[in-house]
């Protein structure tokens, strides 16, 4: 079955978030592949978000997870030479606030530079930990609400300088056995290139 293409920003964000919930549910059950129950979770959440009977969780939940994860690089798991990284780059309007900051080792931080987080991970042929994607989606949603962009066409946003790249929001997720919720501490530094 072909994936539906969305034209409105709100629907794309909701669909990406619903896919995230689908992937999260499969990881929680340690599934090798997605099952009907996962697709049902996605469909129910997407419908609920669209009709207003469900909401995206607050970013406060992500802050609690960030505290539990501890001081490791959220991209490679290293505990060495850590710095704070802006999920949305400052160059493109990312704020210096806790919601937009996570730990990254200096190697990953330097490699990412001022690139969009998802764009950077795509160049590394890696998929972000789901909790980082969740934070990215919530920040995207919050930005779109505050700048009245939710009901715009996706193509309109592609021509604007924003702290995120709307066209890169993930709508397809790898098999659950290839995903992680959070990065875990690694014993050796992973080359970010």
- Report yes or no: 187 and 35 within 8 Å, Cβ to Cβ: no
Domain boundaries, the chain: 9-58+87-171
| For residues 182-190, average pLDDT | 63
| For residues 15-34, average pLDDT | 97
Burial label, 144 (beta-carbon count in 10 A; 0-12, 13-18, 19+): buried
In whole angstroms, give the CA distance from residue 35 to residue 38. 5
In whole angstroms, give the CA distance from residue 47 to residue 65. 26
User: What is the per-residue pLDDT across 55-72, written as a single tens digit (0 to 9) for each?
Assistant: 998 888 777 777 777 789
Burial label, 152 (beta-carbon count in 10 A; 0-12, 13-18, 19+): middle
Tell me if the pTM is above 0.85. Answer: yes
In whole angstroms, give the CA distance from residue 182 to residue 193. 20
186 pLDDT band, cuts 50/70/90, is: low
User: What is the per-residue pLDDT across 132-174, written as a single tens digit (0 to 9) for each?
Assistant: 999 999 999 999 999 999 999 999 999 899 999 999 999 999 9
Angstrom CA distances, 21 to 59, 104, 189, stand at: 15, 25, 30
Provide the pLDDT for residue 139: 96
């Amino acid at each position: 079955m072909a994936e539906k293409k969305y034209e409105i920003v709100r629907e794309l964000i909701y669909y990406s978030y619903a896919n995230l919930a689908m992937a999260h549910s499969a990881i929680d059950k340690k599934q090798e592949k997605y099952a009907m129950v996962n697709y049902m979770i996605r469909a129910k959440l997407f419908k609920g978000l669209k009709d207003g009977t469900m909401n995206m969780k607050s970013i406060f939940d992500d802050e609690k997870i960030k505290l539990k994860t501890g001081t490791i690089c959220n991209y490679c798991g290293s505990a060495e030479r850590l710095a704070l990284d802006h999920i949305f780059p400052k160059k493109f309007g990312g704020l210096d606030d806790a919601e937009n900051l996570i730990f990254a080792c200096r190697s990953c931080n330097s490699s990412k530079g001022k690139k969009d987080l998802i764009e950077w991970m795509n160049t590394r042929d890696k998929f972000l930990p789901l909790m980082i994607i969740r934070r990215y989606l919530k920040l995207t949603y919050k930005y779109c609400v505050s700048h009245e962009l939710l009901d715009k066409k996706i193509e309109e946003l592609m021509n604007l300088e924003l702290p995120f790249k709307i066209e890169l929001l993930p709508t397809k997720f790898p098999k659950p056995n290839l995903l992680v919720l959070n990065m875990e501490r690694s014993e050796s530094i992973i080359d970010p290139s």
